[in-house]
Amino acid sequence: MQQPVRIAPSILAADFARMGEEVRAVAAAGADYIHIDVMDGHFVPNITLGPDMVAAIRPHSDLVFDVHLMIAPADLFIEPFAKAGADIITVHPESGPHLHRSLQMIKGLGKKAGIAINPATPLDVIDPVIGDVDLILCMSVNPGFGGQSFIPGTLDKLKELRRRIDASGRQIDLEVDGGINAQTAPQAATAGADLLVAGTAVFKGGPEAYEANIRNLRGER
């Protein structure tokens, strides 16, 4: 069953020199989760941050820390991110040889487990593990950089993922990430997404704009 739409600002678009303040600001502005994009320059063509940054910002918010591992191999870093304060850890099926084992590792550390679906990843990859995940992240851009445009075909993928989640009878977040703004957010929500990741659309304009930016993503004025 689709849940109310929640907003997860991606700190990839925040001011890295003021990260603690930025996390506090978006939390005060109405964010539901904090989305943390971890990139290694290998699995994706960019390098961002590691467990130390997560540990550094953890005291600044009690919101859910939604950590997206765009790294390979991912298994080596699951425990460090769990210890640093991640609440949800999401991995890509392509980032290791044994997806089920990776999900078991996350759950064994007491965290929620997510699986990320790239634009070219077949949706059937979720079927054997849908009983083990708490979140499915549908990438609406190719991962690696912020500021990309939403891939329209993602809407059909979201509809099919919503159908599969509902058929499972489990409460699983359906998250979408990439090119989410005031125009694409309602389209994604209508297609079945209930957790929207947004970077530029939240952080543009500085802290005084964050509340209005988040309200726009929710379709509120």
Binding residues for a divalent metal cation: 35, 37, 68, 177
Virtual torsion, Cα 44, 18, 220, 194, nearest 10 deg: 40
CA 111 → CA 42, 69, 154, 185, distances in Å? 25, 14, 27, 27
**H or E element at residue 159:** helix 154-168
Residue ranges at the known binding site for substrate: 10, 68, 144-147, 177-179, 199-200
In 3D, which of 195, 213, 203 has the Cα closest to residue 15? 203
Catalytic position from the list 32, 40, 75, 177: 177
Q: Given phi > 0 = left and psi -120 to 50 = alpha, else beta, which region is 123?
A: alpha
Joined tokens for residue 105: 């590792």
Residue ranges at the known binding site: 10, 35, 37, 68, 144-147, 177-179, 199-200
CA distance 43 to 26: 29
Residue 37 among the catalytic residues: yes
Residue 177 among the catalytic residues: yes
Catalytic position from the list 32, 37, 134, 173: 37
Active-site residue list: 37, 177
